Structures are given as C-alpha cells and as structure tokens.
C-alpha cells in the first residue's frame, strides 16, 4: 500500500472527458460504503468522502472511463482512511484482547483427557460446495453481516489484513499495535467469522 | 540440566500441539512464519485430526478469497450516502472550485 501523494496516482487523460459535478452522483454511494465498512461511523464516512472529492478536485479532473475514475477516487479515499487510522491510533488503542476470548476457549475441552481437543459437537462441519458459495454475491452479503458483528477495533484490524491485504507489519505500523496482539486478534476474528458463516450460510447447505 | 529438560519439554510441546494450539498456529501461519519444529508438529497433528484439517481448509479459503472480493463486499454494505450529505458535499465542492 503506497501512502504517498493522494491525488497524483495516475495522470489525467483529457480535460473534456470527466465532470466533477457528476462524481458525487456516480461514485458517492460506492465511496460512502467503502468508507463506512472501514470507519463504522456514518459521520466519519461522510467526512472521508467529502475530503476525497475535495482532494480530487485539487489533483486532477479527468479519466477515460468511469471505472478508472472510480479506482482513482478509491485510492484517494484509502489514503484518507489510513490518515484517520494513524491519527486515531495516537489517541486510543486498537488492541482488543477481550473479544472472543471466552468463546475461543469454550470450543475446546478444558481439562482431563483430551484437553485442548475440539469439543465434538462444536468442531468444524464439512462445507458443501464451498467454492461455489464463494462465487455467489449472496454469500458476500452474509460475510459482510458476519464481519459487521465484529467489534470495531477487531473489525478494523481484520479488514485491513484480510480485505485490503496489508501485511501484518503494515497493519501494526498503521494502528500502532504489537505483532503478537495482532496475531491474537486475527486468530479470534477468523475463528468468529468462520463460525458465523458456518451457522448462517453453510448450515443451510446452500 | 534443568535448562535442557526445559528445552526438551518445549520441543515436545511444539511437536504435539493440541487442537486449540493447532488452530491458532494455522491462523498465525497466514501472517508470519513459525519455527520449523512447530510446523512439523502442526503437520503431524493435521495428519490425524480431521477437524483441524477442515478448519485449515476453511480458513485458507476465506483468507484467499476475501481480498479478491473487496468490491462485492463494499457493494454489499446496505447503507447509502444520504441525500443531505450528498447535497452538502456538492456545495462544498462548488465553494472550492
């Protein structure tokens, strides 16, 4: 993830092709959804979208085609979001070691013979035709719902690593958290997500 | 002597993880390398444990596919930019032209 200059990621092609007036109509919803997924707060998401459009106005005005335009705007928005995280990480911590701590323990035999083994009824089920599921749009709605249930800090960490594809080191730098805390949070988030999807999607054997 | 006993103990522990440890190790492997001895222990555990094998498969599937579906996930967010916010942003853009 390059965090360098926001609006100068690609050169504009020709001034006549694009129209900033139209940007809000064409891309406002998508940018808002993108921001909301990551910032979890309507006001913050709106601010990020506004900041993106204003930065875009300063940086350049045109692209050949809506999808190149959208990518460029998303790039600016990503940087705005990262700036927000950097600032926020100085004021509050992004570490959350409470989440899923008990639930994680409760899935395994706690003592005696077979300690640490999966409790039979709670073990992972076989996922029928999992590959096909992941091609369906509805599946990703279910995924979105499940990640929506993660508490904010855990969701932030999870999204940056799994959806945005930042490396562990990059996430740690951005959010000012330790690597070992990152790994714990990711482990629990992945476990919770897997469980949620199994219960809400795969259990219905779609 | 105690030092070596402890070494042997932790090596043994690394070579024979239980499910709880194996599940955690599989998650960590997505993020950073583990010492060889832990990787060997995990492999051995996976040879015998269907549940942990399943868990690993599912974990990898979700991990690999998530970043390929960024757009679908974004679009799946139900909320939209409110018309009030829309107008506000347009006004701001006008002011800043």
ipTM score here? 0.91
Size of interface A-B (CB pairs under 8 A): 142
Write the DSSP symbol of residue A164. Answer: S
Integer Cα distance of A144 and B72 in angstroms: 9
Q: Which residue of B has its CA nearest to A140?
A: B73
Q: What is the pLDDT of residue A63?
A: 66
Structure tokens belonging to residue A94: 């992004």
Residues of chain B with Cβ-Cβ distance to A115 below 8 Å are 18
- C-alpha separations of B40 from A139, B14, B35, B54 in Å: 35, 8, 9, 18
Residue ranges covered by each domain of chain A:
20-91, 101-204
Per-residue model confidence as pLDDT tens digits over A44-96: 999 999 999 999 988 765 566 778 889 999 999 999 999 999 999 999 999 99
Per-residue model confidence as pLDDT tens digits over B5-22: 999 999 999 999 999 999
Structure tokens belonging to residue B28: 């960590």
Per-residue model confidence as pLDDT tens digits over B51-79: 999 999 999 999 999 999 999 999 998 89
Q: Which of A29, A179, A183 sits opposite B81 (nearest CB)?
A: A29
Q: What is the pLDDT of residue A163?
A: 95
Integer Cα distance of A176 and A92 in angstroms: 10
What pairs with residue A118 in β-bridges? A108
State the angle between helix axes of A179-200 and A137-148 in degrees (0 to 180), rounded to the nearest 10. Answer: 130
- C-alpha separations of B52 from A20, A108, A193 in Å: 52, 12, 16
Integer Cα distance of A24 and A31 in angstroms: 9
Write phi, then psi, for A161 (nearest 5 degrees). -80, -45
Per-residue model confidence as pLDDT tens digits over A154-180: 999 999 999 999 999 999 999 999 999
A194 touches B58 (CB < 8 A): yes
Q: Cβ of B19 and A165 within 8 Å? A: no
Structure tokens belonging to residue A4: 């360098």
Residues of chain B with Cβ-Cβ distance to A191 below 8 Å are 23, 27
Residue bearing tokens 């974004």? B74
Give percent above pLDDT 90 in chain A.
76
Residues of chain B with Cβ-Cβ distance to A160 below 8 Å are none
Scanning A43-82 for CB atoms below 8 A from B yields 46, 49-50, 53-54, 57
CATH class name, domain A101-204: mainly alpha
The number of beta carbons lying within 10 Å of the beta carbon of residue A146 is 20
Whether A103 and chain B come into contact, CB under 8 Å, resolves to: no
Residues of chain B with Cβ-Cβ distance to A37 below 8 Å are 73-74, 77
Write the DSSP symbol of residue A121. Answer: G
Residues of chain A with Cβ-Cβ distance to B76 below 8 Å are 137, 140-141, 143-144
User: B49: domain range?
Assistant: 2-95
The number of beta carbons lying within 10 Å of the beta carbon of residue A123 is 17
- Estimate to the nearest angstrom the gap between the alpha carbon of A171 and the chain centroid: 12
Cα–Cα–Cα angle for A84, A48, A71, rounded to 5 degrees: 105
Residue A91, min C-alpha distance to chain B (Å): 26
Dihedral (C-alpha) A71, A36, B79, B58: value to the nearest 10 degrees?
80
For residue A10, what pLDDT band results from cuts at 50, 70 and 90? low
Give the three-class secondary structure for B96: coil
- C-alpha separations of A35 from A39, A40, A140, A175, A190 in Å: 6, 8, 17, 17, 22
Number of domains into which chain B is organized: 1
- C-alpha separations of A104 from A165, A172, B19, B23 in Å: 25, 23, 12, 10
- C-alpha separations of A120 from A84, A196, A205, B55, B82 in Å: 44, 18, 20, 14, 48
């Amino acid at each position: 993830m390059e965090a360098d200059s926001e609006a100068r990621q690609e050169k504009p092609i020709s001034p006549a092709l694009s129209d900033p007036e139209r940007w809000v109509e064409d891309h406002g919803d998508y940018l808002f959804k993108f921001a909301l997924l990551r910032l979890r707060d309507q006001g913050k998401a709106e601010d990020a979208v506004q900041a993106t459009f204003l930065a875009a106005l300063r940086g350049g005005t045109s692209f050949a085609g809506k999808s190149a335009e959208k990518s460029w705007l998303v790039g600016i928005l990503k940087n705005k979001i990262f700036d927000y995280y950097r600032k926020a990480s100085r004021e509050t911590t992004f570490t959350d070691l409470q989440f899923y701590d008990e639930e994680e323990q409760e899935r395994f035999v706690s003592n005696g013979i077979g300690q640490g083994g999966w409790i039979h009824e709670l073990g992972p089920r076989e996922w029928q035709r999992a590959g096909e599921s992941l091609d369906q749009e509805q599946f990703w709605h279910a995924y979105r719902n499940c990640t929506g249930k993660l508490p904010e800090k855990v969701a932030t960490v999870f999204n940056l690593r799994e959806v945005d594809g930042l490396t562990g080191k990059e996430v740690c730098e951005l959010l000012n958290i330790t690597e070992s805390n990152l790994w714990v949070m990711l482990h629990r988030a992945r476990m919770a997500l897997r469980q949620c999807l199994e219960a809400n999607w795969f259990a219905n054997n779609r | 002597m105690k030092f070596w006993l402890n070494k042997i103990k932790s090596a043994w522990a690394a070579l024979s993880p239980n499910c709880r440890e194996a599940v955690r190790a599989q998650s960590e492997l997505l993020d950073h390398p583990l010492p060889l001895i832990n990787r060997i222990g995990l492999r051995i555990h996976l040879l015998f444990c269907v549940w942990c094998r399943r868990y690993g498969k599912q974990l990898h599937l979700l991990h690999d596919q998530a970043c390929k579906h960024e757009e679908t996930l974004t679009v799946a967010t139900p909320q939209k930019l409110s018309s009030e916010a829309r107008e506000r942003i347009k006004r701001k853009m006008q002011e800043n032209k």
